[in-house]
Structure 1
Amino acid sequence: MASSTVISSQPERPPRPNLAFRRLRGRRSPAEFAAAVRRAAREIGERVSCDARYVGRVEAGEIRCPNYAYERVFLHMFPGRTLTDLGFAPRSAVRGRAARTAAGTRATGTAPDATRVAPAPYDTRNRHDPAGPEPSDPRHEPYGNDPWNHEESDVLRRAFMTGGGVTMAVATLAPLGLTHTAAAAVRPLRRAGGSEASALENAVRRIRLLDDRHGADGLYQRAAAPLRAAYALLDAGATRQTTTDRLHAGAGELAISVGWLAHDSGRFEDARSHYAEALATARMTGDPGLEAHAFCNTAFLARDAGRPREAVRAAQAAQRAGRSLGSDRLMSLLALREAGGWAGLADRTGCEQALARAQALFARGRSDADPEWMSFYGEAELEGLEAQCWSTLGDWRRASRHARRAARLQDPHFTRNIALYTAELAGDLAHEGRPDEAAEAGLRVLGLLEQVQSCRIRTILAATARALLPHRRAQGVPDFLDRHASLPRTGRA
């Protein structure tokens, strides 16, 4: 993985803050404003996943123009105003570049650059609108009927399609919808630039979004190809040192995301390899944030793989790496990873001490230092991870109480986590001796499996079904067992 310190003669222009949008937020916090956006979306039948980080990106000017779904929501919230009034750039200024370039080529008669690949029109089936990019943040795009079909930006597509250096990677990124062309030509590699780094970062966000909603099964094989492309970009080097740093960080985060997909779909050895790859990248580049993330996931994997002592050591290593980052939420999550290891060792005292640290750190609230990948970590996840600790310790009453809270508190955006917490609740209730409630929770999970594919969740449900077999006469249990038995057998995707 080569790096370069070559300084580009064309520095990237920093985004201009959107002060108009900031004024409209008023005295509300970003989280409060994001909640208002989601409420407004529901009022007009839209589906957006706005959070505080999205609001921050808009206000920082990183999102120059929202996609059409967000546009409708914002104009509903502020009637009589235009996108320009809200501080956004005209859509034509964001989308028009390719068209203007093509028109200029026709007018001047000049041939296009031979190293460039013309972007193919993208599929507009199953969309509310035929277009409507949100160029900087695909995490918050609405889905449509096809989970692989997004309102993606021309800017993002071109990022992996311009220049010979990344043409090799184009076809491998198509499975995630980042490109809609299958350029097979192999050209000499050139150094990557800021557009490639941005596309890599957005690939990570896209994978996380899809996992949040649909689970890991079926995503893992698709996500492995962008990871290979990311390391091909690293091997090619970059035009600027800052771009090199972004590529290393993006490749490391992508390795962790792909590792998590392997982890959640039961491929523990594959996950271990991907996490080790991310850790090596972090150590090579001296990136404490990436190192803490890699150790965090390694600890979680070790716990699930039955290596609790390794889980404790990895969680403690993550805390050492993350201590300098200034994020209380990160340290809270890492304390929970340690608590899971202590629970696996049947060390109730060690587990309770780690849980107390996690809760105290969580209570300090969010901060700008919180890593982007931690968007999933809220009160629901805190409750869910604590439920897992009590379940491991055999305290089923506490486990079911926390699992119920987790399922109730989870944002609807995280469909996979709702299914997970509810499945854990079903198992805890079954062991607690409440088979009717366990069956009811299990049936709710079975209903969610039409949207979510996760080996972890299916494994939990199978264990719950076994625990309920002696309680066939309890209300709801026969229905749950019959529906569970009729689940189609799915191999690893």
Structure 2
Amino acid sequence: MALSRAVPNLAFRRLRGSRSPAEFAAAVRRAAREIGEQVACDARYVGRVEAGEIRCPNYAYERVFLHMFPGLSLADLGFSAREAVRGRRPAAVAAGAPPPLAAFTTRNDEGSDVLRRAFMTGGTATLATASLGLGGPSAVAIPAPRSAHRVGDAEVRAVEEAVRQIRLLDDRHGAEGLYKRATQPLRTAYALLDAGVTARRSTADRLHNGAGELAISVGWLAHDSGRFDDARSHYAEALATARMAGDAALEAHAFCNASFLARDAGCYREAVRAAQAGLRAAAPLDSDRLRALLTLREAGAWAGLGDRAACSEALGRAHSHFGRGPSEGDPEWMSFFGEPELEAQEARCWSLLGDWSRAARHAQRATVLQDPHFARNLALYRTQLAGNLARAGHPDEAAAEIRRVEESLGGVESARIRNLLGETRRAIAAAR
């Protein structure tokens, strides 16, 4: 059965007006924050909508678009009806033929926390595809190659979407319930790399980047779950992928997370070296925000070593980079890095140096500035604030913060937060 040709969405293009795709994507992300949603919209997504590749947005994007353009329907925005896009599978699929990507990109029930797996044969290899549907309306599948040694745009887009969904689910629920399930799409992504790609260099580059970013995302889930050895392995895998592909942005990201992991593991000199290596990789990139985060990683490592002067100098550089503002070159994964995270990272530096009152002031700012929609980050910031207050001699205020954290955790599962809560309770008891 022939595939229908994508029809450009001219209505959506008119709504963008004179704004560039990146500027419009930024407006979409701002609108999402206004209504408590989170979407990983970038210029590429806008281009896919305008090209007609996305005939109907998922439910999160639908809510954002209708908020941005009150009074307009999805049809007014140039989209097709959802039932027309996500209808019954073709008869060939029902009869047992390998399903296309669209057959797996279907609506999940809200609140589902299971990883749906299907197995499909592509050419000479049998590869697993995995859907992630925890707490969200859309599932993501990574399909097997359509034939031996042929991987195309559909597979690469699926890898990229898997990365976005893992990040979204982590923001809302934490890592523990997600880590083991997220390793399946990672294995599939690297199997696609092994299967070979089309002759188009751009497709190969995107697949390497997507697989590397997926390795970092899964590594972070391991990191946040307290599985440091697993996290180190995944970050190393991402770094190797970046080096093989000559991808400076991916290399900087891998070093950024490796530095964070080394600091949490108490390997502070390793954390310094990884942060500095990340800064070298990021030098040619147009992203002061990325350089700010890497410099914060370096500052935290110096703090762990007890070098107050080097920490203060690095914090000054981080603030200088951050003050230059965002740019179109900022990586998509850095959507979490705003002023709340800047304050929280600085608080961590001062706590490592034993300056508890100063740490508490920065942690307090982080909790005030943080969007409540990011439940895991807000719980983390409040737990850090409580620990700093307890050690600064304010156990009652610390206990009040702990109660707020416990009341707000809900479905958030993070070993890191649980460990911090335990440490903070012990600090409160000691202070009393």
User: Cα deviations across residues 155-181 of structure 1 (Å, max 9, x unaligned)?
Assistant: xx99x96855775222xx146578699
Contact 1:16 1:60 in 2 (8 A): no
User: Cα deviations across residues 94-114 of structure 1 (Å, max 9, x unaligned)?
Assistant: 716x75x837x79xxxx9895
Partner of 2:243: 283
1:328-407 alignment, distance < 5 Å: 328-407=288-367
User: Cα deviations across residues 142-196 of structure 1 (Å, max 9, x unaligned)?
Assistant: xx3335599xxxxxx99x96855775222xx14657869999x999855221111
Following superposition, the deviation at residue 82 of structure 1 comes to 3.3
The structure-2 alpha-carbon separation of the partners of 1:312 and 1:392, relative to structure 1 and needing over 3 Å to count, comes to same
- 1:199 is aligned with what amino acid? A
Pair 1:233 & 2:233 matched: no
Contact 1:296 1:337 in 2 (8 A): yes
Flag structure 1 segments of 5+ consecutive residues without an equivalent.
1-9, 42-46, 126-143, 151-156, 473-493
The partner residue of 1:102 within 83, 90, 95 is 90
Contact 2:179 2:218 in 1 (8 A): yes
SS in 1 for 2:284: helix
Cα distance in 2 for partners of 1:286, 1:187 equals: 27
Cα distance in 1 for partners of 2:64, 2:146 equals: 44
Partner of 1:311: 271
Pair 1:449 & 2:415 matched: no
Partner of 2:183: 224
Contact 1:315 1:337 in 2 (8 A): yes
Contact 2:140 2:165 in 1 (8 A): no
Partner of 1:90: 80
Following superposition, the deviation at residue 352 of structure 1 comes to 0.6
Pair 1:19 & 2:29 matched: no
CA RMSD of aligned residues (A): 3.8
The structure-2 alpha-carbon separation of the partners of 1:461 and 1:120, relative to structure 1 and needing over 3 Å to count, comes to closer
Cα distance in 2 for partners of 1:283, 1:339 equals: 25
User: Cα deviations across residues 188-215 of structure 1 (Å, max 9, x unaligned)?
Assistant: 8552211111111111111111111111
Following superposition, the deviation at residue 92 of structure 1 comes to 6.0
Cα distance in 2 for partners of 1:375, 1:412 equals: 15
Contact 2:142 2:155 in 1 (8 A): no
SS in 2 for 1:168: strand
User: Cα deviations across residues 341-372 of structure 1 (Å, max 9, x unaligned)?
Assistant: 11011111110111111111111111110011
SS in 2 for 1:169: strand
The partner residue of 2:37 within 35, 48, 69 is 48
User: Cα deviations across residues 41-71 of structure 1 (Å, max 9, x unaligned)?
Assistant: 4xxxxx53257x4588447736543334544
The partner residue of 1:196 within 146, 149, 155 is 155
Contact 2:386 2:402 in 1 (8 A): yes
Partner of 1:425: 385
Query: What is the TM-score when the length of structure 1 is the normalising length?
Result: 0.75
Overall identity of the aligned pairs, in %: 56
Partner of 1:488: none
Following superposition, the deviation at residue 302 of structure 1 comes to 0.9
Flag structure 2 segments of 5+ consecutive residues without an equivalent.
none
Cα distance in 1 for partners of 2:245, 2:368 equals: 41
Following superposition, the deviation at residue 36 of structure 1 comes to 4.5
Query: Which of structures 1 and 2 has the bigger CA Rg?
Result: 1
Partner of 1:416: 376
Contact 2:142 2:158 in 1 (8 A): no
Contact 2:390 2:431 in 1 (8 A): no
